[in-house]
């Protein structure tokens, strides 16, 4: 169950959590055209700070443009709404916070043609720890290659963080967990590795960090953060296609994402990755990442929006 806060920002106003409701004939509920973000705020020595807020807001609005959702709020208004919400709920947060903005089509019309439906927006934020478990962050998770293929660019638009795209992820995640695994790995329609159900993937081979390009997947903000950190650490990075059997013989592997942060993969399809533990490069990247989000790296202070 969600750890409820006091307020949710809904259509320009702070409303009580329990009163943030929509009609059962809300268009996006029936047809799936909505876009959302996953953003985190971390506890720092200078208070709560949102990680890469502007980048998340920019991607949210880009997704809305792709999906032809004419958001009634500007870039600046959305950033301010995040800050106002966290300030209003500050007494509710006793850990790191997960933030979920959503732009969706509301009540008023039905049918496939969507442009006459009103466009609504909400932002909610609540206490949320490690998405794949604290043990997973340290010791790694077990992953299964899914029988579901990642949405093709020939049928859906992967550069949009669209709600409809995540039915694919839900089914893959369900299959993996029902088979006793922690997470799913999806291939693209050509058989190359795409991503997890909600994460990007990296592998390490011979000291080099390798990650697939964004041919058919979301442009990940956490992935971009890892690439920047790797450069700082002097780790050579290669962006190229990989296959699942290359992951089997990798020295290390890990998932990245706002929810997953940096989570090691210790096993894929019953093959142990490396020595079956979190690898040394993965740990270095993790340590640097958590140092940044905690506000302890002066170089990356521009990644943080402090809530004063």
> In this structure, how many other beta carbons lie within 10 angstroms of the beta carbon of residue 221?
21
- Work out the pLDDT band at 134, boundaries 50, 70, 90: confident
Q: Is the pLDDT of residue 1 over 90?
A: no
Distances 150 to 160, 169, 176, 239, 248 between C-alpha atoms, Å: 14, 8, 14, 19, 20
Residue 250 contacts residue 204 (beta carbons within 8 Å) = yes
Q: State pLDDT tens for residues 60-91.
A: 999 999 999 999 999 999 999 999 999 999 99
CA 306, CA 60: separation in Å to the nearest integer?
Answer: 20
Joined together, the tokens standing for residue 29 give 């509920």
Half-sphere exposure of 175 (CA within 13 A, CB side): 19
> What radius of gyration, in Å, describes the C-alpha atoms of the chain?
19
- Work out the pLDDT band at 110, boundaries 50, 70, 90: very high
Cα–chain center distance at 213: 17
Q: State pLDDT tens for residues 190-239.
A: 999 999 999 999 999 999 999 999 877 788 999 999 999 999 999 999 99
Supply φ then ψ for residue 75, to 5 degrees: -55, -50
CA 15, CA 82: separation in Å to the nearest integer?
Answer: 14
Residues in the chain, total:
308
Catalytically active residues, by annotation: 161
Phi/psi class of residue 4: alpha, beta or left (left: φ > 0; alpha: ψ in -120 to 50)?
A: beta
- Work out the pLDDT band at 131, boundaries 50, 70, 90: confident
- Work out the pLDDT band at 140, boundaries 50, 70, 90: very high
CA 185, CA 244: separation in Å to the nearest integer?
Answer: 9
- Work out the pLDDT band at 133, boundaries 50, 70, 90: confident
Q: Please, what is the average pLDDT of the chain?
A: 96
What confidence score (pLDDT) does residue 214 get? 82
What confidence score (pLDDT) does residue 215 get? 78
Joined together, the tokens standing for residue 93 give 């947060």
Instruction: List, in order, residues 6 or more apart from 26 with CB less than 8 Å away.
Output: 104, 105, 106, 107
Output DSSP code: residue 275: T
CA 206, CA 235: separation in Å to the nearest integer?
Answer: 11
3-class DSSP string for 213-235: CCCCCCCCHHHHHHHHHHHHHCC
CA 36, CA 263: separation in Å to the nearest integer?
Answer: 22
Crossing angle for the helix pair 75-88 and 53-66, nearest 10 degrees?
130
CA 57, CA 200: separation in Å to the nearest integer?
Answer: 19
Crossing angle for the helix pair 53-66 and 221-233, nearest 10 degrees?
140
Percent of the chain with pLDDT over 70: 100
Distances 222 to 2, 182, 194, 225 between C-alpha atoms, Å: 23, 20, 16, 5
CA 262, CA 285: separation in Å to the nearest integer?
Answer: 8
Average the pLDDT over 246-257 and give the result.
Answer: 97
């Amino acid at each position: 169950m969600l750890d409820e806060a006091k307020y949710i920002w809904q259509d320009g106003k702070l409303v009580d959590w329990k009163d943030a409701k929509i009609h059962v004939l809300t268009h996006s509920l029936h047809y799936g055209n909505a876009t959302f973000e996953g953003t985190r705020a971390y506890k720092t020595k200078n208070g709560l700070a949102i990680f890469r807020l502007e980048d998340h807001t920019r991607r949210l609005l880009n997704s809305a443009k792709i999906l032809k959702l004419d958001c009634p709020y500007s870039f600046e208004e959305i950033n301010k709404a995040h800050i106002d919400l966290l300030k209003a709920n500050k007494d509710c947060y006793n850990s790191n916070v997960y933030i979920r903005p959503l732009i969706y089509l509301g009540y008023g019309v039905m049918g496939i043609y969507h442009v006459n439906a009103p466009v609504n927006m909400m932002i909610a934020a609540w206490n949320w720890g490690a998405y794949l478990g604290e043990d997973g962050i340290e010791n790694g998770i077990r992953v299964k290659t899914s029988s579901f293929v990642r949405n093709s660019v020939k049928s859906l638009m992967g550069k949009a963080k669209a709600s409809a795209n995540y039915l694919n992820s839900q089914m893959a995640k369900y299959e993996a967990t029902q088979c006793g695994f922690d997470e799913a790995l999806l291939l693209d329609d050509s058989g190359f590795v795409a991503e997890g159900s909600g994460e990007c993937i990296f592998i390490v081979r011979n000291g080099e960090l390798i990650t697939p390009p964004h041919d058919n997947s979301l442009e990940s903000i956490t992935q971009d953060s890892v690439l920047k950190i790797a450069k700082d650490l002097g780790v050579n990075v290669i962006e190229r296609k990989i296959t699942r059997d290359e992951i089997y013989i990798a020295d290390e592997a890990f998932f990245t994402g706002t929810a997953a942060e940096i989570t090691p993969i210790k096993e894929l399809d019953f093959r142990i990755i490396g020595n079956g533990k979190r690898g040394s490069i993965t740990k270095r990247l993790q340590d640097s990442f958590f140092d940044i989000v905690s506000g302890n790296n002066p170089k990356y202070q521009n990644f943080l929006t402090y809530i004063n």
